[in-house]
C-alpha cells in the first residue's frame, strides 16, 4: 500500500492536527515510522520532551505517556543533556496494530527548557472494507465522546 508522510516542527506545549479524514472513510492509516529530533541542535541545550500522537483532539500537551490511554497512537521520549557524559537518549513506541480513518493530533511537551521538536511520521494507507470502515469510525466517535 502507499505510504503518506508528514513532517513538522512543534513548539513546547504545541498541538498540531494532521488532516486525514475523508468523506467516505474508506481509507485507513497505520503509523509505520515516527521519529523526533530537537529543533535547537546548537549550543548547550538540556531538554526532556515527550512528543505524542493521538487519535482524538487534545486540549493540552502532556508530559505523561499513559499507555493505558486507548487514544494514544505513538509516543517518543527525547532527552538531551548538557553533560556529555549523559548525552542523548530517545525512545519511540508505535502502537502499529491501530488502524484509524480520522485526523490525528501531534503534541510536544518539554519538561525542562521549552525546546521545540521536529517530527517525521510515515503512515501506511490501507483500503478499508465497509465493516472495517464502520468499526474504525465508531471507535473514533466513541473515543471523542469519551474524552469530552
pLDDT by residue (tens digit) across 16-64?
A: 999 998 877 788 899 999 999 888 765 556 778 999 999 999 999 999 9
Comparison of pLDDT for 129 and 110, the residue scoring more: 110
pLDDT confidence of residue 75 = 96
pLDDT confidence of residue 129 = 78
Parallel, antiparallel or unpaired: strands 3-10 and 117-127: antiparallel
Pick from 59, 56, 58: nearest CA to 70: 56
Its pTM stands at 0.83
Comparison of pLDDT for 66 and 90, the residue scoring more: 66
pLDDT confidence of residue 45 = 65
Mean pLDDT value across residues 91-116:
90
Amino acid at each position: 500500500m502507499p505510504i503518506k508522510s508528514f513532517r513538522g516542527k512543534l513548539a513546547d506545549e504545541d498541538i498540531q492536527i494532521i488532516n486525514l479524514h475523508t468523506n467516505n472513510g474508506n481509507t485507513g492509516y497505520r503509523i509505520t515510522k515516527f521519529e523526533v529530533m530537537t529543533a535547537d541542535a546548537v549550543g548547550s541545550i538540556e531538554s526532556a520532551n515527550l512528543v505524542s500522537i493521538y487519535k482524538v483532539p487534545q486540549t493540552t500537551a502532556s508530559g505523561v505517556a499513559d499507555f493505558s490511554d486507548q487514544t494514544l497512537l505513538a509516543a517518543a521520549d527525547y532527552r538531551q543533556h548538557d553533560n556529555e557524559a549523559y548525552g542523548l537518549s530517545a525512545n519511540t513506541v508505535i502502537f502499529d496494530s491501530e488502524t484509524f480513518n480520522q485526523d490525528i493530533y501531534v503534541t510536544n511537551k518539554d519538561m525542562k527548557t521549552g525546546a521545540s521538536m521536529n517530527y517525521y511520521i510515515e503512515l501506511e494507507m490501507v483500503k478499508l472494507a465497509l465493516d472495517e470502515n464502520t468499526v474504525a469510525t465508531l471507535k473514533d466517535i466513541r473515543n471523542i465522546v469519551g474524552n469530552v
